[in-house]
């Protein structure tokens, strides 16, 4: 009986060892979707934050002393260039003008008399009835009266000018602020502020651009793919704080002549039509500026891109259904997909899902699908220094 038990235990041990020596079956390769990237010609649009600014903002001050007798506008209304806004009591200046004109008449009469006397003296000198000294005195009187007439004319011109200053006109078309004086207030020339007027159509959109953007644009201009905004009216589209799209369109008009060493930015502005005066100076806006010429880009979903420290990579299907990694340079979002500037070929099959389970050289079970746009074109129609990424891009051609 002891031998039987021993034989039974030995049989169990042999059976267990036989089962332990068998290797478990290998797991099947992961199933993934792959697809060729979409090829498109795109144009970059760079994003900026800025504010609207009036091209002309005028502080209206009194140019003469006097009392305000009329205010001819409502606070905050739109005005035209040359529209009367204030009247300062004109009576003292009208009286001064009339006095100056009377002085002109008096001086002109004196001059006429002096000329007559001098002519008569000249004739009498010929017959020696008058001395030469007397003739010279009469001629000097003529010259004095002529000078007095010029002085009187100048005084009248000055009085007429001061009288015109009693009506204060808007120097530009735009919108007037509130009145800073009231009826009956005494104003002082060159000192008393009456109101301010800002021009509104067109209006400027002013923003600061980083030095890296400026360098990128300079390189683009050197290559001839994008003109400098100093000379080219590059398009700018603007979105207000409560808007989902970019309905306001302008053109670049100014880039400053120096970069601010404190902030590392350069100031620029675009000119934007504003016929209905909806856009107001000081209003916040988000703008996108034409950032590049046309270039060929391949589009893939954002989730296919793996960030490894400073590198961005994608998995690509290789021979025998093994995957490899490609280092890529990414661009802006286009049609809901991410633009790839370099690192991919149009014929590459990019792995679209299951990335967490993949390692370079791993085998997969691929299913080929077609990558489709996820949204409409978001852009408007139309690298050694860490060039900034464009915020959006627009299609500029068709797929291969």
Higher pLDDT, 183 or 295: 183
Give percent of the chain above pLDDT 70: 87
Assigned token pair, 64:
């003469």
Q: How many CB atoms lie within 10 A of CB 309?
A: 5
Mention the CATH class of domain 63-88+167-196.
mainly beta
Cα torsion through 110, 112, 118, 121, rounded to 10: -100
State which fold the 90-165 domain adopts: Helix Hairpins (1.10.287)
Q: Look at the pTM and tell me if it is higher than 0.95.
A: no
Assigned token pair, 36:
């060729």
In tens, the pLDDT along 73-132 reads 999 999 999 999 999 999 999 999 999 999 999 988 888 888 887 777 777 767 777 777
pLDDT of residue 22: 58
Assigned token pair, 45:
């649009």
d(CA 141, CA 113) in angstroms, rounded, equals: 10
Higher pLDDT, 10 or 119: 119
Cβ atoms 286, 321 nearer than 8 A? no
d(CA 328, CA 313) in angstroms, rounded, equals: 6
Nearest of 104, 84, 82, 83 to residue 160 by alpha carbon: 104
Q: Quick one: CATH architecture of 48-55+200-290?
A: Beta Barrel (2.40)
Label residue 188 exposed, middle or buried (CB < 10 Å: 0-12, 13-18, 19+): exposed
Cβ atoms 362, 320 nearer than 8 A? no
Q: Quick one: CATH architecture of 31-43+294-395?
A: Beta Barrel (2.40)
Cβ atoms 194, 62 nearer than 8 A? yes
Residue 14's pLDDT band, with cuts at 50, 70 and 90, is low
- Give me the helix-helix angle, 132-164 and 91-126, nearest 10°: 160
Q: How many CB atoms lie within 10 A of CB 360?
A: 11
pLDDT of residue 199: 96
Q: What is the largest CA-CA distance in the chain?
A: 187
d(CA 45, CA 34) in angstroms, rounded, equals: 30
pLDDT of residue 384: 35
Assigned token pair, 7:
């034989």
pLDDT of residue 336: 86
In tens, the pLDDT along 309-366 reads 778 999 999 888 899 999 998 888 888 888 888 889 999 999 998 888 888 888 888 8
Task: Average the pLDDT over 391-398 and give the result.
Answer: 63
Boundaries of every domain in the chain: 31-43+294-395, 48-55+200-290, 63-88+167-196, 90-165
Does the structure show a pLDDT above 50 at 258? Answer: yes
pLDDT of residue 220: 87
d(CA 369, CA 350) in angstroms, rounded, equals: 10
Tell whether the torsion through CA atoms of 243, 247, 248 and 251 is positive or negative.
Answer: positive
Task: Average the pLDDT over 229-257 and give the result.
Answer: 93
d(CA 287, CA 249) in angstroms, rounded, equals: 9
Residue 9's pLDDT band, with cuts at 50, 70 and 90, is low
SS3 content of the chain, % helix, strand, coil (to 5): 30, 35, 40
Cβ atoms 154, 97 nearer than 8 A? no
CA–CA distances in Å: residue 374 to residues 166, 172, 296, 336:
66, 49, 19, 5
d(CA 131, CA 127) in angstroms, rounded, equals: 10
Task: Average the pLDDT over 292-309 and give the result.
Answer: 86
Does the structure show a pLDDT above 80 at 398? Answer: no
Q: How many CB atoms lie within 10 A of CB 87?
A: 16
Assigned token pair, 356:
């967490």
Nearest of 202, 341, 269 to residue 48 by alpha carbon: 269
Does the structure show a pLDDT above 70 at 38? Answer: yes
User: pLDDT averaged over the chain?
Assistant: 86
Does the structure show a pLDDT above 70 at 15? Answer: no
Give percent of the chain above pLDDT 90: 48
d(CA 232, CA 65) in angstroms, rounded, equals: 48
Task: Average the pLDDT over 6-33 and give the result.
Answer: 64
**Residue located via tokens 């809901």:** 336
Query: ω before 202 within 30° of 0 (cis)?
Result: yes
CA 220 to chain centre: 19
SS3 state at 310: coil
How many residues are listed for the chain in this entry?
400
């Amino acid at each position: 009986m002891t031998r039987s038990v021993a034989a039974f235990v030995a049989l169990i041990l042999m059976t267990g060892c036989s089962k332990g020596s068998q290797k478990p079956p290998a797991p099947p390769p992961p199933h993934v979707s792959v697809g060729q990237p979409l090829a498109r010609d795109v144009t970059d649009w760079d994003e900026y934050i800025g504010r609207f600014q009036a091209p002309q903002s005028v502080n209206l001050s009194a140019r003469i002393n006097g009392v305000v007798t009329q205010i001819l506008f409502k606070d905050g209304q739109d005005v035209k260039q040359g529209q009367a806004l204030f009247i300062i009591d004109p009576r003292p200046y009208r009286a001064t003008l009339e006095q100056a004109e009377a002085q002109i008449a008096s001086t002109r009469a004196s001059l006429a008399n002096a000329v007559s006397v001098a002519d008569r003296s000249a004739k009498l000198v010929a017959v020696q009835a008058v001395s030469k000294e007397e003739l010279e005195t009469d001629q000097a009187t003529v010259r004095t009266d002529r000078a007095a007439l010029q002085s009187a004319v100048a005084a009248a011109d000055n009085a007429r000018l001061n009288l015109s200053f009693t009506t204060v006109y808007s120097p530009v078309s735009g919108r007037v602020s509130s009145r800073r004086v009231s009826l009956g207030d005494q104003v002082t020339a060159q000192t008393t502020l009456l109101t301010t007027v800002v021009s509104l159509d067109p209006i400027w959109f002013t923003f600061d651009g980083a030095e890296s953007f400026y360098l990128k644009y300079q390189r683009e201009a050197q290559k001839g793919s994008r003109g400098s905004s100093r000379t080219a009216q590059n398009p700018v589209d603007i979105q207000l704080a409560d808007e989902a799209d970019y309905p306001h369109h302008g053109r670049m008009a100014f880039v400053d002549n120096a970069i601010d060493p404190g902030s590392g930015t350069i100031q620029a502005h675009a000119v934007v039509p504003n016929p209905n005066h909806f856009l107001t100076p000081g209003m916040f806006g988000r703008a996108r500026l034409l950032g590049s010429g046309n270039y060929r880009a391949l589009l893939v979903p954002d989730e296919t891109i793996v960030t490894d420290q400073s590198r961005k990579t994608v998995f690509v299907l290789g021979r025998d259904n093994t995957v490899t990694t490609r280092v890529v340079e990414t661009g802006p979002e286009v049609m809901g997909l991410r633009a790839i500037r370099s690192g991919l070929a149009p014929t590459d099959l990019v792995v679209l899902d299951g990335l967490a389970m993949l390692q370079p050289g791993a085998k997969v079970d691929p299913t080929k699908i077609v990558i489709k746009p996820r949204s409409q074109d978001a852009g408007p129609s139309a690298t050694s220094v860490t060039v900034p990424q464009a915020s959006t891009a627009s299609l500029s051609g068709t797929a291969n």
